[in-house]
Amino acid sequence: MRRVYLVAGELSGDILGAGLMRTLKARHPGIEFRGIGGPRMLEEGIDGRFPLETLSVMGLVEVLKHLPRLVGVRRELKRDALAWQPDILIGIDAPDFNLGLERQLREAGLTTAHYVSPSVWAWRQGRVKGIARAVDAMLTFLPFEAAFYRRHHVPVAFVGHPLADELPLENDRAAARAALGLPAEGQVLALLPGSRANEIRFLGETFLAAAGRLCAARPGLSIVMPAATPARRAELEALLAGHAALRDRVTLVDGRSREAMVASDCVLLASGTAALEAMLCHRPMLVAYRMAPATHWLAKRLVKTEWIALPNLIARETLVPELIQDAASPAAIAGQLAALLDDDEGRAALEARFAGMHAGLQRDASRRAAEAIEALVAGEPLPESVSPERAAEVAP
């Protein structure tokens, strides 16, 4: 393999792309890279055609505003890739942009792959037909994603999750508590109401009210609450000002969410990647989520999965309680958390289950992705990821 075209759309894609480039360089000395990447991919040697920020557009209104420019960028990347003639083009996440580019280049005769599955298994499942036309293979983080693509006859490789590679299979609760200035004894609850302003708006007060109920009944309980950004910290401080009884019980920290999870006995969090991180820290959790009523009404009609929490989706069973919308009241949340905190045996069993799931996802994702790409370029079968029998068992 001599030439690889890579298109990353945001910082998370830049991290993935850099790991993949590093692995491919070790396996193929002299390999060249071209496309779009961020600082890490530039450091690994990609010939960047546009800055990473070119594709970092969020929200429907913003996308519509920048659509003519994005169409022009896609057209230029297509022209550039066809002129350069890489062995393969790999779109990294950013599916709204990359899948269209991949389809155009595949129709023009290039081999294409997409790294990081969109949530097609959860909603708008008909998109899988377009994905099948766009890519020669999908590289997925999670086994149930691979099973979904197999069921729809799309070539797929389950490569494992980079977060699982990054986080250790053993962690030290006492060391994490000491690092965060938390009590060595007694129970600790981690609160993670989200990293977006809307999540703080819909969940922040609810989470603190639930914590207040727990603290009133449990004098020895400590709370640690990471703030994802300075803006989120200011919002959380404003909410805490209305809970005088919690001020001496809550430790507010900047970032360090993984340390907070490891330090805790259980975690209360919004749905999303944080649930996967809590699982990879081997901590029991409660997932609670609230959103605008209109958004919830629409989501109920579009989302096709039984669960929203990634640990449940991976296990295909309810390991983690989920309280959504009106069910996510302070009283209900406090009740569920009290049951978790009182069940030492159940928590220990769940920590062991999560450790096993962690090991299953810890597959050296960059290496496996590189192996899948090599197979595609060589015209060989993709490395086996999920057997057809297991696919039928776990597919959404």
The tens digit of pLDDT for each residue in 42-58 reads 999 999 999 887 775 44
pTM above 0.85, yes or no: no
Q: Tell me the average pLDDT of the chain.
A: 88
CA angle 103, 109, 112 (to 5 degrees): 50
- Residue 296's contacts (CB-CB under 8 Å, 6 or more residues apart) are 324, 325
pLDDT confidence of residue 126: 76
Range of the domain at 51: 3-160+363-394
First to last CA, the chain: 35
Together in a domain, 331 and 383: no
Nearest to 311 by CA among 347, 357, 349, 351: 357
* 266, 189 contact by CB (below 8 A): yes
* 233, 252 contact by CB (below 8 A): yes
Together in a domain, 252 and 371: no
Together in a domain, 306 and 212: yes
Give 202-250 pLDDT, tens digit per residue. Answer: 899 999 999 999 999 999 999 999 998 898 899 999 999 999 889 889 9
pLDDT confidence of residue 296: 56
Give 73-110 pLDDT, tens digit per residue. Answer: 999 999 999 999 999 999 998 888 999 999 999 999 99
Min mean pLDDT across 218-232, 306-320, 377-391 is at 377-391
Q: How much is the average pLDDT of 52-65?
A: 55
Q: How much is the average pLDDT of 164-186?
A: 95
CATH number for position 338: 3.40.50.2000
Together in a domain, 254 and 387: no
Residue 87 belongs to a domain: yes
Together in a domain, 306 and 344: yes
Residue 249 belongs to a domain: yes
Q: What are 73's two structure tokens?
A: 């960028």
Together in a domain, 242 and 388: no
- Beginning with the edge strand found earlier in the chain, give each strand of the sheet holding 156-158 in spatial order: 47-50, 32-36, 3-8, 88-92, 112-115, 137-140, 156-158
Give 251-302 pLDDT, tens digit per residue. Answer: 999 989 999 999 999 999 987 788 999 999 999 999 998 866 666 555 565 5
User: How many other β-carbons are positioned within 10 Å of the β-carbon of residue 78?
Assistant: 17
d(C-alpha 36, C-alpha 42), whole Å:
9
- Residue 242's contacts (CB-CB under 8 Å, 6 or more residues apart) are 205
Q: Provide the pLDDT confidence category of residue 12 given band limits of 50, 70 and 90.
A: confident
Tell me how far CA of residue 372 lies from CA of 153, 169, 359, 366, 384, in angstroms: 17, 25, 21, 10, 10
Cα torsion through 59, 60, 62, 66, rounded to 10: 130
Residue 245 belongs to a domain: yes
Together in a domain, 116 and 88: yes
